[in-house]
Structures are given as C-alpha cells and as structure tokens.
Chains A and B, each alone.
Chain A
Amino acid sequence: MTMTAHDVNRRGSVRDPKRDLTEPAPVRWLLTAVSLSFLGLFIVLPLAAVFSQALEKGTALYWEALREQDALDAIRLTLWTAAVSVPLNMIFGLAAAWAVTKFRFRGKNLLITLIDLPFSVSPVISGLIFVLLFGLQGWMGEWLDASGIRIIFAVPGIVLATVFVTFPFVARQLIPLMEAQGRDEEEAALVLGAGGLQTFLKVTLPNVRWALLYGVILCNARAMGEFGAVSVVSGHIRGATNTIPLHVEILYNEYNFTAAFAVASLLALLALVTLALKSFFEWKLREQLLRGNSEAHP
C-alpha cells in the first residue's frame, strides 16, 4: 500500500506492481521458444520417428516383429525382471524410508548417501560389479560354478543388476514426504492402542500411498528400460537372457530397422503410460502435500 502511494508521489502515475516482478515480453517469448523447440527436437521428434519407422512397412510387419519368438521371449523376460525387482525395491524403499525418517540412529546420513549411490554410478559399472562378484573370474565365481549356480549370463544376474540400478526410486520419493509428515500420527496411533502393523497399514501407508505409487511407477519404467547394467551381465543369449532393450539393439545391429523400431515402440508406449500415471500421482501428491501443509499451519 505505502509502496504504491510512494510511486504515485514520485512518478505522478500509478504503476502496475505486478509488472515489475516479471520479465519483459521478448525475454518471456524467447524463454518459451527455447524450451518448446528443445522439447520438439529432443522428445517429440524422436518419439514420432520411433512410431513412424515402426509402422513404415505397414501394420502387418509391425505385428509380426512383435510376435516373433525372440521378441516374445524378450518381452517375457522384461516383465519377469520387473515383476521381481519392483516389489523388492518397494519393500526396500519403504523399509529404508521408515528407518531414515522415524528413527534416530548413527550413520543415518551415510545410509541416505548409499541409497543414492546407483544414481551416481554409471549403469555399466553397476553391471560390472556383479560380474566381478559372481562371474567365473570373480570372488564367488569358483564356488558358484562348483555348486552349479549360474548368475552371470543368466536371469538371476539380470534381476540383480536391475534391482541395484532401480533401488533409489521408491526410497527417494518417500523420504522427503515422510520427513515432512513426522512421527506424530504414528505416535497418536500407538497411544490409541494400535499395534505396529496396524499403525503401518492404517496410518503410515495411506499417508504415503501416492508418493509410493509414484516411486513404483518410476522404478518400473527404469526396470523395464534398463540397458547398460543388464547388457553387461546378460550375455545377449537370444530367447534366454535378452530383455526388450537388448533385443532392440540386436535387431538394430542386424539392420532390421522395422523390427527394431517396432519393439522399441513398446518401450516408447511404456514411457507414455508412465508419464500419464506419473502426472496423475504427482497431482494427487501435491494435493495431499497442500492439505498436509494447511494442517501444520492452521
């Protein structure tokens, strides 16, 4: 109020206070244009290319590429890998977030840093770690070979590498939310006589459900799409250790572009579905955070 009055006195005209706070029009247009053209160049165009290439020689060939035995095997292995690693990481993420946010203990910051490790390590290195551990020349290689357990160049290796690469997703989503929510509601439940499991199912889980689903969907997208780490441990055995991304690479290297793009379009579709779900969960989460904030500061 006083600001406006001051401006009137000095300049003799009333200024729109909001205009001072935004950039001039050319700058705004430039920024919008830059971000839109980037989006077009690096997201929309490649996505369109995938589908147009895949369908270039007609839908018949497209379906055939997907129904081919090797493709079906790759799809099956990818689904199987995701089905194992996503629930595992959901449990791990919940446990880690619970430990980090609801308890006080030594080495908490170290745990948080370690959770982030897979994000900062190149996926190829992640794969190599498992080769070094379980490969024939690795630490446990001889013993595993003697026991007849195959991990590297087999499905267990693929699952292990995928679990490793995707384990931060759920925990990373839950920790900030659970930190913000504090322990009050859990304590209230305990005082009211609820057991540990009851408290978890009726209070903690409903409070984090959108963040959890958000983390799970990101985790799933990465689990199905992971290339680097899986590529190192898989051995690329057709029909046995090929996931969708590896299969795409093989087809591409064989100059079988239509089939490569057809299979790739599956991953692109997965990305779109993930995006839609992610936006929905994000919106729900924001709604919940807003509600939570209004509760904390009445």
Chain B
Amino acid sequence: MSIEVSNIHKTFGHFQALRDVSLEIPSGELVALLGPSGSGKTTLLRIISGLEMPDSGTVRFNGVDTTDRHVRERQVGFVFQHYALFRHMTVFDNVSFGLRVKPRKVRPARAEIRDRVMGLLRLVQLEGLADRYPSQLSGGQRQRIALARALAVEPQILLLDEPFGALDARVRAELRRWLRRLHDEIHVTSVFVTHDQEEALELADRVVVMNEGRIEQAGSPEEVYEHPANPFILNFLGNVNLFRGRVHKGLARLGGMELSAPEHAAADDAPAVGYVRSHDIALERRPSDGASLEALIRDIHAVGPSVRVTVVLNGYGGAVEAELTRDVFETLALKKGDAVFVRPRNVRVFVEDYQI
C-alpha cells in the first residue's frame, strides 16, 4: 500500500514539529526517516500511524484519504521505540492480542489464532519463547516479539520508531540485516525512523533526510550520499572538512586552493564553503599537481579498519581530517609532525547563504 503525505503541519505548544511536509512512499518500499533528534521524524511517523493528528495537511493510503480515520481502523503495524510489550502478558498473548480484540464476527477461531501466532514466532525465530513474559527476554528478543505482534494483524503498512535504538551495537547490526531479509520476504510498505545515518543508508530503499521539521532531501541511499542537496545533509551523512573562501563567476578560491565551480557561474564574489568528506582527502609525500596544499600532521588515530589523520594546513591554519585505508597509511609511513601534501577530491561548493 502506498503512502502519500501532503502539506503536513504540526505544532506542540510553541514548538513547530513539522512544517509543510510532503512525501510519497510507493508500495512495498522500505523507507528510512533520518534526522537528528527534534527533526520531526517520529512525529511524522506517528501522524502516518494515526497516533497523532496533523494540524493541517492530509495522509493518504493508496490514494484514499485516511487523515480522519482512527488509528484503530488504519491497519498499520507499529513497533515502538521501547517495544511497549504488554508486560503482564506472555509472548503468546502479546502476539495474539491484535487478533483477540477483533469483533467476534471477524475474529479468527482459537486454533487459527494459535497457528498464526506460532507461524509468526517461527518467522521471528523465537518459537520456544511463547510462554515467557517480556521481562524474561533480552532486548533483541523483545524487539522481534514487538515486530511479530505488529505483523499479526497483517498490516498494510509497517511503521518502526527507532527500531534498533535501545540495542547494543552487535545485536543492532544483526537485527538490521534480519529486518532487511524479512522485508524482502513479506514486502509490506515499511517506514522506520532513525538518527543513525549508517543504519538508514544500509537498510533502506529510500532515505528521507529531515531537519527542523522539514524534509531536506529524499532519494535512494546512493543519491543522498553522492549528491547531497545541501550542506546539512553532507554534514549529517559523514565526516566533512570545511574550506572557506569565495566564489566568483564559476571559480572558487577556498583555503589556498583554486577550482572551478561551474554551478556557481552567476556568483559574484560570494562567500562560499567547500565541503570535502574525510575519505576524499588524499595525503601524499610529494605534491602531484598545483592543487596540493602543504600541511603538518598533528594527530594519528589508527584504530579500526581505517586510519584517521588530522593535519594542519600551512598558511590557512585550519585543521583537516583525512581518512586513509591501512594500506595507504602504511605505504606513506606517516608519523606525527611529518610534513605532507593534502589533495582534496570531490569538493562540493555551496555559496554561504545556507548555514549549518
């Protein structure tokens, strides 16, 4: 089922949670709402579910206006951030709840409920735990039970609020892959909220980046990562270095380097910032061309698969962080205090009317 959200506004007291948000989610997609806390992503999710009402704007499922339909009748599955399992019920009763509260006429027979629940517990790989209480489960198990409970009513749409937020890193990575496989299997339109860019980029078909109640950009993970629409997204999706300077008629002078910026051909000596991701900063012993900048190594952080090197640019004075692979790092044999040359690649120039 497709979801169409148009011109949603929502305020809580004096806080404007959503400002004119419009979004289309095609049927069967797995979409991530990504943003820092307070960006309105959870509010948007709750408005789609019907747990929150928008001040204005509409929500449509498959083209049908559901804005005024009660949450009970929207047929959505919702997985809460802290799971919200019924603490006084067993796992079985939790998962079967949505079936047991159906009106008598449409309620499945007891045996059928049993089969459905057991099938779902198999799906989430927790068949043996039907008689346990939530307090007896680990965080990852509770998360999967919450998911099974949401799926029991065969929702047309699955909504997940920070589904992995409360789990430790290893369980989180595992559950993430598992959720992706599950989605590929059952193919229900799913929206999840996260503040973890890695999670969003790895898991989702489409990433919707939000900030201060607005959608900054929506697109495939590659699109959002490779072609960020503005500095906020660039900054949010990974470590970036800033080179300040000016741009004039398509030519940018930023912190000692000179490069062409054809998209700013109309700029007239405007202040600009060049953004370079730390893995797009190359370090070299000898300058390979005129664009290389002289620098001194201030710090080396060599833990994990890549090495982070902080250098200070001569003359310009700013610190730049470079992320190198171990191979490159070892070939260059870098030490603290060494003089090196910095060559930024993929510089994205934004005229400075948009501040982070």
A→B interface (CB under 8 Å): 184-185, 187-195, 198, 202-203, 206-207, 288, 291-292, 294-296, 298
In the complex with contacts A184-B82, A191-B77, A295-B135 CB distance below 8 A = yes
B101 touches A295 (CB 8 A): no
- Return chain A residues, CB-CB under 8 Å to B49: 191
In the complex with contacts A184-B80, A291-B135, A190-B101 CB distance below 8 A = no
User: Is B336 part of the binding interface, using a Cβ–Cβ cutoff of 8 Å?
Assistant: no
- Return chain A residues, CB-CB under 8 Å to B10: none
Chain B, range 27-83, C-beta contacts under 8 Å to A: 49-51, 71-73, 76-78, 80, 82-83
In the complex with contacts A187-B80, A189-B101, A193-B72, A295-B86 CB distance below 8 A = no
In the complex with contacts A188-B80, A191-B78, A198-B101, A294-B135 CB distance below 8 A = yes
- Return chain B residues, CB-CB under 8 Å to A193: 72-73, 98, 101-102, 153
For residue B98, which residue of chain A has the nearest CB? Answer: A192
A192 touches B97 (CB 8 A): yes
A195 touches B72 (CB 8 A): yes
Min distance, Cβ B182 to any Cβ of chain A, angstroms: 19
B80 touches A192 (CB 8 A): no
Min distance, Cβ A189 to any Cβ of chain B, angstroms: 7
List the 4 closest A-B pairs by CB distance, nearest first.
A184-B84, A192-B98, A298-B139, A194-B101
User: Is B142 part of the binding interface, using a Cβ–Cβ cutoff of 8 Å?
Assistant: yes
Chain B, range 101-145, C-beta contacts under 8 Å to A: 101-102, 133-135, 138-139, 142
A194 touches B72 (CB 8 A): yes
A298 to B166, CA, bound (A): 8
Most buried by B among A190, A191, A206: A191
Known: A184-B82, A203-B86, A206-B88. 8 other contacts (CB 8 A): A184-B80, A189-B86, A189-B101, A191-B76, A192-B98, A192-B149, A193-B102, A193-B153
B→A interface (CB under 8 Å): 49-51, 71-73, 76-78, 80, 82-88, 97-98, 101-102, 133-135, 138-139, 142, 149-150, 152-153, 166
For residue B141, which residue of chain A has the nearest CB? Answer: A298
Min distance, Cβ A295 to any Cβ of chain B, angstroms: 6
A187 to B77, CA, bound (A): 12
Min distance, Cβ B13 to any Cβ of chain A, angstroms: 9
Min distance, Cβ B53 to any Cβ of chain A, angstroms: 13
Min distance, Cβ A248 to any Cβ of chain B, angstroms: 42
Determine which of A190, A294, A296 lies in contact with B82 in the assembled complex, contact meaning CB atoms within 8 Å. Answer: A296
6 contacts between A and B (CB under 8 A): A191-B77, A191-B78, A191-B150, A192-B98, A291-B135, A298-B166
A202 touches B51 (CB 8 A): no
A213 to B150, CA, bound (A): 32
- Return chain B residues, CB-CB under 8 Å to A292: 87
- Return chain A residues, CB-CB under 8 Å to B150: 191-192
Min distance, Cβ A84 to any Cβ of chain B, angstroms: 30
For residue B72, which residue of chain A has the nearest CB? Answer: A193
- Return chain A residues, CB-CB under 8 Å to B98: 192-194
A190 to B52, CA, bound (A): 12
For residue A206, which residue of chain B has the nearest CB? Answer: B88
- Return chain A residues, CB-CB under 8 Å to B77: 191
- Return chain A residues, CB-CB under 8 Å to B80: 184, 187-188
For residue B137, which residue of chain A has the nearest CB? Answer: A298
- Return chain A residues, CB-CB under 8 Å to B149: 188, 192
In the complex with contacts A184-B84, A191-B77, A207-B87, A295-B134 CB distance below 8 A = yes
B71 touches A191 (CB 8 A): yes
A202 touches B101 (CB 8 A): yes
A218 to B284, CA, bound (A): 79
For residue B167, which residue of chain A has the nearest CB? Answer: A298
Min distance, Cβ A22 to any Cβ of chain B, angstroms: 32
- Return chain A residues, CB-CB under 8 Å to B102: 193
Min distance, Cβ B305 to any Cβ of chain A, angstroms: 29
Determine which of B72, B87, B97 lies in contact with A295 in the assembled complex, contact meaning CB atoms within 8 Å. Answer: B87
For residue A209, which residue of chain B has the nearest CB? Answer: B88
B71 touches A190 (CB 8 A): yes
Min distance, Cβ B113 to any Cβ of chain A, angstroms: 13
A15 to B51, CA, bound (A): 57
- Return chain B residues, CB-CB under 8 Å to A291: 87, 133, 135
- Return chain A residues, CB-CB under 8 Å to B139: 298
A195 to B134, CA, bound (A): 23
A187 touches B135 (CB 8 A): no
A295 touches B85 (CB 8 A): yes
B87 touches A189 (CB 8 A): no
B72 touches A185 (CB 8 A): no
A17 to B73, CA, bound (A): 60
B142 touches A191 (CB 8 A): no
A185 touches B135 (CB 8 A): no
- Return chain A residues, CB-CB under 8 Å to B51: 187, 190-191
- Return chain B residues, CB-CB under 8 Å to A185: 84-87
In the complex with contacts A295-B134, A298-B142, A187-B87 CB distance below 8 A = no
B153 touches A192 (CB 8 A): yes
- Return chain B residues, CB-CB under 8 Å to A296: 82
For residue A207, which residue of chain B has the nearest CB? Answer: B88
A187 touches B84 (CB 8 A): yes
- Return chain B residues, CB-CB under 8 Å to A202: 86, 97, 101
A190 to B102, CA, bound (A): 12
For residue B97, which residue of chain A has the nearest CB? Answer: A192
Min distance, Cβ B106 to any Cβ of chain A, angstroms: 10
B78 touches A188 (CB 8 A): yes
For residue A185, which residue of chain B has the nearest CB? Answer: B84
A37 to B213, CA, bound (A): 64
A206 to B93, CA, bound (A): 13
- Return chain B residues, CB-CB under 8 Å to A298: 138-139, 142, 166
Min distance, Cβ A144 to any Cβ of chain B, angstroms: 45
- Return chain A residues, CB-CB under 8 Å to B73: 193
B166 touches A195 (CB 8 A): no
